[in-house]
Structure 1
Amino acid sequence: MGVAILSSAPAHAGDRTISLPRGPAAEAVIALALQTGTSIVIADRTVGRRPVPAIHGQIDAGEALRRIAIAADARIVRVGPNAWRLIDRPKKPGRRPVVVRSPAPYKAPSQPETAATAPIIVTATKRDVNLRDVPAQTAIIDGHDLTLGGVGGTDKIVERLSSVSSTYLGSGRNKLFIRGIADSSFAGPTQATVGQYLGDLRLNYGSPDPDLRLSDVAKVEVLEGPQGTLYGAGSLGGIIRFVPNAPRPGEFEASAILGASATQEGDPSGDASLMINLPLDDGTTALRGTFDLARTGGFIDKPNIGKQSANRLDIAAARVAILRKLSPQWQLSISALGQDIDSADSQYADRSGDRLTNSASVPEGAMAKFRAAQAVVDGQLGALRLRSTTGWVGQSLEERYDASHDGEDRTFTQDTRSRMVSSETRIWMPERNGFGWLAGASVIHSTTTLRRRLERYDQRTVLTGVRNAIDEATVYGEVGIRLRDVLLASAGARVTWSHLSGAGEDVLPAIAQERVGVTAARSAITFLPSLSLTASLGDRTSLYLRYQESFRPGGLSVEQEFVKRFNDDHSQTFEIGGRYGLAERDTIDFSFNLAYTDWQDIQADFIDGAGLPSTANIGDGRIWSATVNAGWMPSNALRLELGATVNQSKVDPQVAFSLVRARQIPNIAGISARASAEWHKDLSSGRDVLVRAWLGYIGRSRLGIGPELGDLQGDYVDSGVTARLGSRVMGITLGVTNVTNARGNRFSLGTPFDEVRRQITPLHPRTVRVGIDYRF
């Protein structure tokens, strides 16, 4: 007996937001028919029981049905204008069904296709380029994968990709790096080397990684850099783009995740996440909200202040979005988010002893607050697409460091406040008849104020700080031309006018009277070109060559009690790479990339003569980076992955830094590697079991530039395993992280004022988590 679904609602010819759950093909088809007003018949119960992945995106019914058919190893037969049948595909010797997991949304053809694979479109390219034609190392992580075992932050991305690394000062205080492009250990007035985006909204400028909770996210795209043509300043290493699930008009939907964890040698932890989607009318407007709470128990003892498990971490986050369908082709969305991170104390420890004890004699907590709001208009003008995003971002960070000296307890406090207003409008045409193009314009106004003070007993001394402001106006564009059926050439350019201004904060009167380095202002025009060539060698293989540039504007920093200027830095990258097959679609997939970067006037942090962190141009650098990723599906139930990144770098320091202990780029391991295995099996009554295990190795690196920051770190192995048993509606998870309970040393910095410099940041001890997830 077959499964037949018929809806009398009118079908829409254009793309719309479709969201189908993971589960049996029959359930996915029912949801698709209800959402699109189509008639779909499954003629064979065997096909209806086959598992299909979750499908989300701005696509039409035909494309969604094609993805279901691929996953269910079925064939599509069209029986009417909005009616189809799914029938079992005849089996051939040695042929395996193809499994696909939530590919990125893209513009689909009006007729369903029966090809063995559907193209994956990388929306981070800003003109919807087929993954096969993207001339860069690219990773797309499905949002469901990021919440398996509990909602996390950017640590989930670092855990999965060997090319992405992080510092470990603490949540909301870290810096992310991609492809060996790293500048320094702590967040100062320099702009980040990795741009982070929520959709098209820039999240960071002169501020650290906000470590947003990755709940209810459709996907995360990581595009290795430089990406100066498309994303401008601060994309030397690349960009990370978070794509949240959009509100779904006409449907009520809710889900919840609850978890409890026990940490060896530490306090217990707990986490909770709730998502709700509310229709506000008869099918054109919806509200979607996500709410997260988490407490991570501490595991570092501070006996000198009488605290055990002192480094407790509390996170509270919320994201709300409203979407309004203005017409079949146009929509407006407005969203806002907020997140507070309260770190009760630092997470570093002494190298000696059990490596879970900190001998600091003062509390060293931190408070990070992040706020953002944006409005997005998205639509079509015939064959053209238009998207305009306007947003505001505010980030505040207060950090406390032990600055005790000669037996006297002292605390150094640093307040960093960043505000940014940005707007970008772009219009593009995805490739048609061998030709595609993109044109855009943007404006940004960003200010960052850094204030510092030193406290001892009941005395407070205000130290010199700095304020940096930047205004940018940009136009950019890119053109892709298919010279032959197998050869695609792309060229782009970005022109940015920027005005930088800065001033000292709380400057000593004697210095302020002389106006010595207290204020500065200048304007500049920057041109960033890009060129690439991609060759398709068959349906599954492509090779590419690329040249790209990027930069970061300069600014003001503080050295001792003086305000000093640092200049722009600029990078030029040449790379070659290729890929074979598609991850989780083909039995074997493989990608590689080899890149050389020439980096001039590197902006980096160092320790000045007073023991305080400062920023300067430390010299020129050259970086070789190679990345390899491979996947193998020996059966429908099992997938194995392996990835590795190798970095070799050298810095030619300026005269002031000519006596440094190490001349390689800081914080970047010479080699890092990751291996994982995922096993998925269907059980009876619509239930299934999923097990994922991973192992990661981070090689040796040095903390920073300068004799005070030359300590070694890294050279450790991390691991984890998570299992889920349940159905589409409810599941129970059991996970273990740091399976071997390794100590390791993720980061050799806790406070820059430690005179002996015997600090480590250990891995979080072995932790067992039990969780439950439920869909309403």
Structure 2
Amino acid sequence: MAAALWAAPAAAQVLSLDLPAAPLGRQVIALGRAARISVVVPDRRLWARPVPALHGRYDPAAALLTIAKAASARVQPIGAASWRIVPTTIPAPTPRRLPADRVSQAEPAPDDVIVTASKREIPHERFAGDTHRVEGVELKLGGSGGTDRLTTRLASIASTYLGAGRNKLFIRGIADSSFTGPTQATVGQYLGDLRLSYNAPDPDLRLADLAAVEVLEGPQGTLYGAGSLGGLIRLVPNEPDLAASYGSATLGGALTAHGAGSADAQATLNLPIVDDRLGLRVVGTAAREGGYIDKPALGRTDVNATRIYGGRAAALLRLGDGWSAEVIAVGQRIRGADSQYADRDAAPLTRDAMVTEGFRADFAQAQLVLAGQLGAVRLRSTTGVTAHDLTERYDATPPGGPPQLFAQANRTRMTANETRLWQSAPDGSGWLAGFSYVRNDTRLRRLFGAPDTPLPTTGVANRIDETTLYGEAGVRMLPGLLTSAGLRVTRTELGGAGEDVPEFALAAARATSASRRQTIALPAASALIDLAPHTSLFLRYQQGFRPGGIAIDGDYVRRFRDDRVATIEAGVRTGRPRRDALDLAVTVARTSWRDIQADFIDPSGLPTTANVGDGRLWTIEATAGAVPIAGVRVETAATFNDSEIDEPSADLVHALTAGVASDVADARAQVLARLRQIPNIARITTRLGVSYDGQFGARALRLDGWLRYVGRSRLGVGPVLGQAQGDYVDTGLTARLAFGPVALTAGVTNLLDTQGNRFALGTPFTTGREQVTPLRPRTLRVGVDASF
């Protein structure tokens, strides 16, 4: 089996190594990353054999000899920078199989990166679609962070920047709403095989102790169902290691220009309880992000401080004969003292508001994962429960009026199961069959009035039961042609009702609050054509949908319908990222979006949700990477989105032009003039990244820098949400210098101290003040991390 494969420009370099005790395979992977060498371990049992820690200065060959000797193995050179590790004696064959969740490590060729989000664990070069993988070692550089780490590394992901635990994420131009309502997210977010939420915002879990984060672009409805219109973000956690005990800790502090200080901490512990049978892995995080927004009217400075506490624990039990059971528990608590927006025309980083606009978010999830094999067929079943609560406060003070507060609480409870069977071949062919069930209950309650005594106003409760059968098959029809097709059939039962509905609106609420059932089929098809070694062309067709529900309209409640997207895309890619001297990928996609669900401001001034019309979207994305000299990698990416809502709904025309235009045709023309493009998505986003892995004297040094330009976009639908945003440059630079098991880190974000405008919304109410959400000012962080 393959331990690691890296572009290897300097096999004779002397390295300062700090490799903890671990199975041989894990140590060789770490050495491969540090030395950029290729190592093959063909014996499965040797891969899992424990070896002691390796500290000191070694060239790659000497390090391999030391590791091999500790494992009773020998090293065979097979190239200038390639080796093979084999046992000193040839073991007798045994019928013992690898556990199911290790099989994927043994089967691929040495240069394969496996797209586990494909659910058939397809090698990247044989996956017909646009996918990105961000390794966990990259995410943890500079301390634990949240989803913002992904937005800085990928040009195709956008965020609303309302604050930690409040943001809505968008991929590839599929964006709907500016704030949290009853609509489901357009991006599916998963931890392992279980979705993090159904129709709540991004929980913004800390990206701590992860093997990687995988991002699939474009609709993923066939395999992932509702809510993955724009794409998918899948967190891949490190599972407990049953062979060795080790841990790590990180501590950091930061200073922000024009603001308060910050601090963060993280600790990870891996503990085998019964050797090769039972193990435990625990990670905990804590952070205080200092504020930088002032409120002169209240005499307060740096009001938007945020505290985040979270953790994850996993227990893995090997049941024998290739079967395993894993229990995973995740929890996080976010407390924001105030919002992070400012007034556009006031002094920089200030807001003239008379109320406190704090927020809090609580997230908890528990999973049970059963995995194994039935002959050559693999099985994985994941069952989980999720609780997600978000409470937000908004300034609703009218111009020249007394202070007013609007508060809303979104309470979500979800139960889910997914069970799938699959079989895959190294050439990308295979099949998959699965079943899933989701029960999601959401209650949205609202208060409005004086800050000290707000009164209940109309809210809604939505319930959905979703039962699904899905399948996919891949067939290599010709040596250079891999085709696949899939189908998902979902039966949904929707229900909803108004809460705190005024008496005069009760009759309408009862008429609206009815359950209904529908069956939805989502087909998919793709083709992958091999043009040359490591060069391919893919074609893909996919659909996605979101179910409807009940929304608030003033003092009333009303239904909104499900919406649906269909995307056809073509892409070409050549080279293997981080393996070849040059890699390039270009994708062109055309999306049709019907009955778009979106939020806007109703005539009473409150946010509401409706189907705003039909739209279309063209997307072009290009990414490229190069290794110009040993240890240096340069990455560039650019996305272009051209979108518009070309057929506004009658409800939207009426809501946005009430009392303004009497002629229907004139009203429709006014709405079309305001829409132009789908909100919250910049037409152009670009990114440039440069990284270096090498030596500083006798110490291992890593440098990572990036620059990201976000073009101009529109906040939302309608005149109140029509403000411009974007058109700014964000930057960052981080350095890490290792001293054996201890390393020092220094990093700067927003090097240019750009204020910018990431999001032109702080409160959806007309307060007489235009709003901007500035970037966090220039921030310097210094940290230390240690492994043991």
TM-score scaled by structure 2?
Answer: 0.88
In 2, Cα distance between equivalents of 1:576 and 1:694: 28
**Deviation of the 1:663 alpha carbon:** 2.6
**Deviation of the 1:16 alpha carbon:** 11
**Deviation of the 1:108 alpha carbon:** 4.9
Is the CA contact 2:74–2:87 (under 8 Å) kept in the aligned structure 1?
no
- C-alpha root-mean-square deviation of aligned residues, in Å? 3.1
Is the CA contact 1:379–1:385 (under 8 Å) kept in the aligned structure 2?
yes
User: 2:170 aligned with 1:177, yes or no?
Assistant: yes
Structure 1 residues 531 and 28: CA distance shift in structure 2, 3 A: closer
Letter of the structure 2 residue corresponding to residue 671 of structure 1: I
Matching residue of 1:653: 648
User: 2:388 aligned with 1:395, yes or no?
Assistant: yes
**Deviation of the 1:65 alpha carbon:** 11
| Secondary structure of 1:261 counterpart | strand
Deviations 1:196-235 (A, max 9, x none): 0000011111100000000100100000120010000101
User: 2:210 aligned with 1:217, yes or no?
Assistant: yes
Aligned mate of 1:721, from 729, 733, 744:
733
Matching residue of 1:229: 222
Matching residue of 1:678: 691
Structure 1 residues 457 and 444: CA distance shift in structure 2, 3 A: closer
Is the CA contact 1:25–1:49 (under 8 Å) kept in the aligned structure 2?
no
Matching residue of 1:611: 605
User: 2:554 aligned with 1:555, yes or no?
Assistant: no
Deviations 1:286-313 (A, max 9, x none): 1111100000000000011111000000
**Deviation of the 1:118 alpha carbon:** 1.2
In 1, Cα distance between equivalents of 2:523 and 2:712: 34
Matching residue of 2:422: 428
Letter of the structure 2 residue corresponding to residue 707 of structure 1: P
Structure 1 residues 73 and 759: CA distance shift in structure 2, 3 A: same
**Deviation of the 1:271 alpha carbon:** 0.2
Structure 1 residues 767 and 109: CA distance shift in structure 2, 3 A: closer
| Secondary structure of 1:709 counterpart | coil
Deviations 1:481-539 (A, max 9, x none): 00111100000000000000000011112322565545121000000000101011222
Is the CA contact 1:716–1:744 (under 8 Å) kept in the aligned structure 2?
yes
Between stretches 259-268 and 533-542, larger displacement belongs to 533-542
In 1, Cα distance between equivalents of 2:342 and 2:77: 53
Is the CA contact 1:517–1:563 (under 8 Å) kept in the aligned structure 2?
no
Is the CA contact 2:283–2:312 (under 8 Å) kept in the aligned structure 1?
yes
Structure 1 residues 722 and 274: CA distance shift in structure 2, 3 A: same
User: 2:119 aligned with 1:107, yes or no?
Assistant: no
| Secondary structure of 2:515 counterpart | strand
| Secondary structure of 2:454 counterpart | strand
In 2, Cα distance between equivalents of 1:133 and 1:609: 52
In 1, Cα distance between equivalents of 2:294 and 2:283: 34
In 2, Cα distance between equivalents of 1:377 and 1:409: 54
Matching residue of 2:704: 692
In 2, Cα distance between equivalents of 1:433 and 1:143: 27
Letter of the structure 1 residue corresponding to residue 544 of structure 2: S
User: 2:565 aligned with 1:571, yes or no?
Assistant: yes
Structure 1 residues 329 and 483: CA distance shift in structure 2, 3 A: same
Give runs of aligned pairs for residues 218-297 of structure 1, distance below 5 A. Answer: 218-297=211-290
Letter of the structure 1 residue corresponding to residue 124 of structure 2: L
User: 2:123 aligned with 1:134, yes or no?
Assistant: no
User: 2:97 aligned with 1:76, yes or no?
Assistant: no
Matching residue of 1:101: none
**Deviation of the 1:407 alpha carbon:** 2.2
Letter of the structure 1 residue corresponding to residue 159 of structure 2: S
User: 2:703 aligned with 1:703, yes or no?
Assistant: no
Deviations 1:257-315 (A, max 9, x none): 11000000000000000001111123311111110000000000001111100000000
**Deviation of the 1:250 alpha carbon:** 3.3
**Deviation of the 1:662 alpha carbon:** 2.5
Matching residue of 2:350: 357
In 2, Cα distance between equivalents of 1:23 and 1:640: 18
| Secondary structure of 2:60 counterpart | helix
Is the CA contact 1:24–1:49 (under 8 Å) kept in the aligned structure 2?
no
Is the CA contact 2:512–2:559 (under 8 Å) kept in the aligned structure 1?
no
Is the CA contact 1:26–1:48 (under 8 Å) kept in the aligned structure 2?
no
Matching residue of 2:749: 737
| Secondary structure of 1:708 counterpart | coil
**Deviation of the 1:593 alpha carbon:** 0.6
Letter of the structure 1 residue corresponding to residue 234 of structure 2: R
Between stretches 240-249 and 71-80, larger displacement belongs to 71-80
User: 2:788 aligned with 1:758, yes or no?
Assistant: no
In 1, Cα distance between equivalents of 2:684 and 2:37: 46
Is the CA contact 1:681–1:688 (under 8 Å) kept in the aligned structure 2?
yes
TM-score scaled by structure 1?
Answer: 0.89
In 2, Cα distance between equivalents of 1:200 and 1:583: 25
In 1, Cα distance between equivalents of 2:392 and 2:616: 33
In 2, Cα distance between equivalents of 1:481 and 1:132: 15
In 2, Cα distance between equivalents of 1:665 and 1:345: 29
**Deviation of the 1:564 alpha carbon:** 0.5
Structure 1 residues 515 and 174: CA distance shift in structure 2, 3 A: closer
**Deviation of the 1:641 alpha carbon:** 0.5
Structure 1 residues 589 and 525: CA distance shift in structure 2, 3 A: same
Is the CA contact 2:264–2:287 (under 8 Å) kept in the aligned structure 1?
yes
Give runs of aligned pairs for residues 629-668 of structure 1, distance below 5 A. Answer: 629-651=623-645, 652-655=647-650, 656-657=652-653, 658=668, 659-660=670-671, 661-668=674-681
Between stretches 196-205 and 660-669, larger displacement belongs to 660-669
Matching residue of 2:664: none
Letter of the structure 2 residue corresponding to residue 176 of structure 1: L
Is the CA contact 1:17–1:248 (under 8 Å) kept in the aligned structure 2?
no
| Secondary structure of 1:428 counterpart | strand
Aligned mate of 1:143, from 136, 142, 145:
136
Letter of the structure 2 residue corresponding to residue 107 of structure 1: S
In 2, Cα distance between equivalents of 1:269 and 1:478: 48
| Structure 2 residues not aligned, in runs of 5+ | 1-11, 13-22, 66-70, 92-100, 654-667
Structure 1 residues 416 and 45: CA distance shift in structure 2, 3 A: closer
Letter of the structure 1 residue corresponding to residue 637 of structure 2: G
**Deviation of the 1:708 alpha carbon:** 1.0
